[in-house]
Structure 1
């Protein structure tokens, strides 16, 4: 009986050692371990002011790591700032986090972009080019259509 116990113990030990150091690896099928960003729902209402405009968009992260939007620039503005709105108070922010498998939404009355020091006044039907810069991912260039000043994405008007 002693002979049967020894091979069984050796086999159990070998199986236990095989599991050491294992975990999610590059081929484990656990998904990507970096951010995978895409942008949609992009628009700018036609500005009512000659020197300032707002912009809205959604950034979706389908990857397994978070990222952060750290800056936005545009050919139409001297500077583009990012703002959050909480309880009616607008605050400029230097970055916005984008969680893994999550979204960052910029919409009217909430997080939004402000195009300041306009070089030209965008008109309905035109497009504005944006460069989005992230902490981890490469930059993304996006074409933002200019919609009517009263455009509401939920109605499409």
Structure 2
């Protein structure tokens, strides 16, 4: 359409609700971040990673439990991605999905805000600020 105006709307619309970063003792070099990730769009979202200036790397994880020889074993597994369906949400919370902030560059302080950029497969980047809390 010559001379026309074209409007482009994002089909996938990620939104972060709430959230916090766990306060770790100064000698601990890793911590976790939690939040709820919502997809307000009409197409699926795939979270493939994150980055933050306060850590060397950020990885996606999910806690899991399994029973081995009658004993419950707790652990966490790294993930390549987390899918959020259209209109859906995924809770990143203790005992479930979470971001691991690995190789902290300095101790975090209670109440400070940590900038984390969420990276999606379609190239979308969502910057969030999460408070550091002791929970």
**Which TM-score bucket, shorter chain as reference?**
0.7 to 0.9
> Equivalents in 1 of 2:10, 2:30: separation in Å?
39
Which structure shows the higher strand fraction?
Answer: 2
Gaps of 5+ in 1: 1-31, 152-157
Greater relative contact order, per chain length (Cα 8 Å cut-off, separation 6+): 2
Q: Where do 1:4-153 residues align within 5 Å? A: 34-48=11-25, 49-87=27-65, 88-136=74-122, 138-148=124-134, 151=135
Gaps of 5+ in 2: 1-8, 66-73
Compute the displacement of 1:40 (Å). Answer: 1.3
Which digits, 9 at most, give the CA deviation of each residue in 1:86-133, with x for residues without a partner? Answer: 223310011100111101211001111111111011110111110101
Contact 1:44–1:146 (CA under 8 A) maintained in structure 2: yes
- Distance change in 2, residues 1:135/1:147 (3 Å): same
Compute the displacement of 1:136 (Å). Answer: 2.0
Compute the displacement of 1:137 (Å). Answer: 5.3
TM-score (ref. length: structure 2)? 0.81
Compute the displacement of 1:33 (Å). Answer: 7.9
Which structure shows the higher helix fraction?
Answer: 1
> Equivalents in 2 of 1:71, 1:105: separation in Å?
16
Which digits, 9 at most, give the CA deviation of each residue in 1:26-83, with x for residues without a partner? Answer: xxxxxx8821111012101211343111110111011111010011110100001110
Count of aligned residue pairs for this structure pair: 118
Q: CA RMSD in A?
A: 1.6
TM-score (ref. length: structure 1)? 0.70
